[in-house]
Amino acid sequence: MSRCKVIAGNWKMNLDAAQGVELVEKLKSEFSGCASCCSCDRGPEVVVCPPFTTLPAVVAAAKGSRLKVGAQNIHWAEKGAFTGEISGAMLTTAGATHVIVGHSERRQYFGETDETVNKRLQAGLANGLTVIVCVGEQLLERVDGTTKAVVERQVRAALAGVDAAAMSKVIIAYEPVWAIGTGKVATTVEAQEVHAFIRALLKQIFVGSNVAETTRILYGGSMNPDNAAGLLAQKDIDGGLIGGASLKADQFAALIRAAH
Ligand code: PGA
User: What ranges do the domains of the chain cover?
Assistant: 6-31+40-258
- Does the CB atom of residue 130 touch ligand 1 within 6 A? no
Q: Mean pLDDT throughout 146-153?
A: 98
pLDDT tens column, 135-148:
999 999 999 999 99
Separation CA 246–CA 223 (nearest Å): 9
Separation CA 226–CA 189 (nearest Å): 16
Cβ neighbour number for residue 8 with a 10 Å cutoff: 27
CA-closest candidate to residue 102, choices 84, 85, 115, 83: 115
Return the best residue to mutate from 222, 226, 246, 255 for the ligand 1 pocket (most ligand atoms within 8 A of CB): 222
CA 11 – ligand 1 centroid, Å: 9
Say whether 75 is catalytic.
Answer: no
* CA torsion angle 186 192 196 199 (round to 10): 70
Residue 38 has pLDDT above 70, yes or no: no
Give the distance from CA 75 to its chain's centroid: 17
Return the best residue to mutate from 101, 175, 177, 224 for the ligand 1 pocket (most ligand atoms within 8 A of CB): 175
Say whether 103 is catalytic.
Answer: yes
pLDDT tens column, 74-123:
999 999 999 999 999 999 999 999 999 999 999 999 999 999 999 999 99
Using DSSP, state whether 102 is helix, strand or coil.
coil
Nearest CA to ligand 1 atom 2: 243
Indicate the pairing of strand 67-71 with strand 98-101. Answer: parallel
Cβ proximity of 138 and 105 under 8 Å: no
pLDDT for 49 equals 98
Residue 130 has pLDDT above 70, yes or no: yes
So what CATH class is 6-31+40-258?
alpha beta
Separation CA 201–CA 138 (nearest Å): 20
pTM of the model: 0.96
CA 101 – ligand 1 centroid, Å: 14
Split at pLDDT 50, 70, 90, the class of 2 is confident
98, 103, 152, 195: the active-site residue: 103
Residue 34 has pLDDT above 60, yes or no: no
pLDDT for 37 equals 42
| Residue that wins the pLDDT comparison between 39 and 96 | 96
Taking CA 35 as the corner, what is the angle to CA 59 and CA 8, rounded to the nearest 5 degrees?
55
Question: Is the backbone of residue 111 left (phi > 0), alpha (psi -120 to 50) or beta?
Answer: left
